Amino acid sequence: MNIGYIVQQFYPFSYGAGIHAFEICQELLKFDHEIHVITKGEPTQAPYECFKNIHIHRILTAYHLPYYDVINPLLLWHYGRDILQKLNLDIVIGHGFEASLYFKVKKYMPFIYKAAGTIGIQANRESLTWHDTVGNLIFPILGQLEKTAARTADCVIAISDSVKQELSTNYKIPIPLVHRIYNGVNTSRFHPAAHYTSLKDELQLSSKKIILFVGRLSPIKGPQFLIQAIPRIIKKFPEIVFLFIGDGPLSSYLHSMARALKITRFVRFLGFISNAEMPKYFAMADLCVMPSLYEPFGLVALESLASGTPLLASAQGGLGELHQILDVFPVLNPISPLSISEKIILLLSNDADLKSLGKKGRELVCQYFSWRSCAVKTNAILEKISRKRKKFKGFEIS
């Protein structure tokens, strides 16, 4: 089967959706499919590349827009449809709201919408910067696009039961049309590895305890609450450093907050780091903290645990489902800096318990979350839908 996979970002220059797309495409190749990814690339990349047998078609534009900008799905569709018409595809998967406009291909071939959250639910998030204010105005528009894609699709894949419920409640998508398939994690790349301590030496962190935050720097991920918790933590653990990995609209705000709290020597903002390099950072950390206010699933959580790094996370959205499986881990109240500081201090106060949590976490993710399982379930859906729909060739998409 020739599969078209539409996603805004793709490994290695990507956050969760692009990582998910790369891993699932690699596994789907094992079912003898041919896969064409249409994505927005970086200026340094080639317009076309066959990488690990995945055909990658990149839309190279000079536009660098916030992820919530309504122009993103328009660009992905406007340029991507020209690529699509040159490919001999049997089915198209649209991953995330940026791929919403690809519902238009359903007239010609089966269309599956993969929901990595529902963008409309973010409309009421806290506004800390002008980016958030603009985002709150645009989210309802993006939500309508996503709603149309989900309601038009032959079926919808949700990455958690939480997202499945959101689709039903907010977009009135019939539950039988929505298939929940959890993310996986690449336990070969993300694993405990002593030799990654060399990164500690490189960053001059050899004698310090390391707390990791990984994700987009936006209010909904909660980095502002973690920053506020730091002054209390450093009184107990003065040899500690907080690494913030990721970029986003809150970057300047968080820098200012760190200066105001006089904690700059305890905080490092490392910006975006490609997923290819991330295993080193997870493996060297003592603890990963996810104070998310909304999390469709929590791929960072799996990558941390697969690395043997304990997790302190909220139970929002899909993270709540992870806590049900990984029930040995404490739950975080994301909006309480006091609670965050108390939980971190408690965890760091017992090295033996912390190491035990790390070991248990890896065992659990290896047992319950694999990209192979994700691909098997996805392939079953692809085969079922392709049998129902006849393929049309030689079309022009308007």
Cβ(246)–Cβ(216) below 8 Å = yes
In which band, very low, low, confident or very high, does the pLDDT at 172 lie, cut at 50, 70 and 90? very high
pLDDT reading at 17 higher than 60: yes
Q: Which amino acid is at 121?
A: I
Calculate mean pLDDT across residues 202-231: 92
Rounded CA-CA distance 195/124 in Å is: 44
Please state the rounded mean pLDDT for residues 202-223: 91
Rounded mean pLDDT of 180-203? 87
Q: What is the pLDDT of residue 135?
A: 61
**Which residue's entry shows tokens 């506004």?**
127
pLDDT for residue 271: 95
Backbone angles phi, psi at 35, to 5 degrees: -120, 130
Give mean pLDDT, residues 227-255: 95
Give one DSSP letter per residue of 172-239, joined into a string. Answer: ---GGGEEE------TTTSS--GGGHHHHHHTT-TTSEEEEEES--SGGG-HHHHHHHHHHHHHH-SS
pLDDT at 37 > cutoff 80: yes
As a whole number of angstroms, the distance between CA 280 and CA 362 comes to 16
User: Average of pLDDT values for 64-76?
Assistant: 73
Return the SS3 of 233.
helix
At 57, is the pLDDT very low, low, confident or very high (cuts 50, 70, 90)?
A: very high
In the three-class reduction of DSSP (H, G, I as helix; E, B as strand; rest coil), residue 41 is classed as: coil
Q: Which two tokens stand for residue 310?
A: 């304990």
Percent of the chain at pLDDT exceeding 70: 90
In CATH, the number for domain 194-368 is 3.40.50.2000
| Domain ranges in the chain with CATH number 3.40.50.2000 | 2-184+370-388, 194-368
Strand partners, 327: none
How far apart, in whole angstroms, are the C-alpha atoms of residue 300 and residue 213? 9
Mean pLDDT computed over 312-337: 91
The percent of residues above 90 in pLDDT, for the chain, comes to 68
Mean pLDDT of 38-45: 88
358: pLDDT strictly greater than 60: yes
**Between 132 and 315, the higher pLDDT residue:** 315
Tell me how far apart the terminal alpha carbons of the chain are, to the nearest angstrom: 24
**Phi, psi angles (nearest 5°) of residue 154:** -65, -35
> pLDDT-based confidence at 15, cuts 50/70/90?
confident
Who has greater pLDDT, 196 or 158? 158
- Each residue's pLDDT tens digit, 107-143: 889 999 999 888 766 655 566 665 566 666 777 788 8
Give residue 255's identity as a one-letter amino acid code.
Answer: H
Residue 123 has a pLDDT of 56
Give CA–CA dist 378/144, Å, rounded. Answer: 25
Contact 275, 11 (CB under 8 A): yes
3-class secondary-structure state, position 98: helix
Who wins on pLDDT, 362 or 119? 362
Please give the Cα distance from 296 to 23 (Å, whole number). Answer: 18
CATH class of 2-184+370-388: alpha beta
The mean of the pLDDT values for the chain is 89
Predicted pLDDT at 67: 58
What are 316's two structure tokens? 């929002």
Which of 318, 335, 282 minimizes the C-alpha distance to 160? 318
What does the pLDDT look like over 151-162, one tens digit per residue? 999 999 999 999
CA atoms of 243 and 144, how far apart (whole Å): 36
Please state the rounded mean pLDDT for residues 242-255.
94
d(CA 93, CA 58): 16
pLDDT bin (cut points 50, 70, 90) of residue 194 is low
Instruction: Please say if the pLDDT value at position 179 is more than 90.
Output: yes
Instruction: Indicate the DSSP class of residue 69.
Output: -
Which helix (H) or strand (E) covers residue 142, if one does?
A: helix 130-152
Span 39-55, average pLDDT:
91
**The residue to which tokens 């690809």 are assigned:** 102
Report the pLDDT averaged over residues 15-43.
Answer: 94
pLDDT at residue 59 is higher than 80: yes
Cα(87)–Cα(40) distance, integer angstroms: 17
